Amino acid sequence: FLSALLSLFRLPLVYYVGLASSSVVFLLTRDRHASGRVRFDQLDIVRRDPPDGDLVLCREVLQHLPNAMVARALPRFARFPAALLTNCVARAPDRAMNADVPLGHCRSALGSGLDLTAPPFSIAAVERLRVAHDRLPFDIVTLELAAAR
Average pLDDT for runs of 10 along the chain of length 149: 55 72 84 81 90 86 94 92 90 79 87 92 94 88 77
pLDDT tens for each residue of 76-90: 998 888 899 999 998
Through-space distance between the first and last CA atoms of the chain, rounded to whole angstroms: 20
> What's the whole-model pTM score?
0.82
Nearest one of 63, 66, 84 to 148, comparing CA atoms = 84
Name the residue type at position 104: G
For CA atoms 44, 139, 117, 6, give the dihedral sign. Answer: positive
Which ranges of 11-130 does DSSP label H, i.e. alpha helix? 23-33, 67-73
Pairing of strands 82-90, 138-145: antiparallel
Number of H helices, E strands in the chain: 3, 6
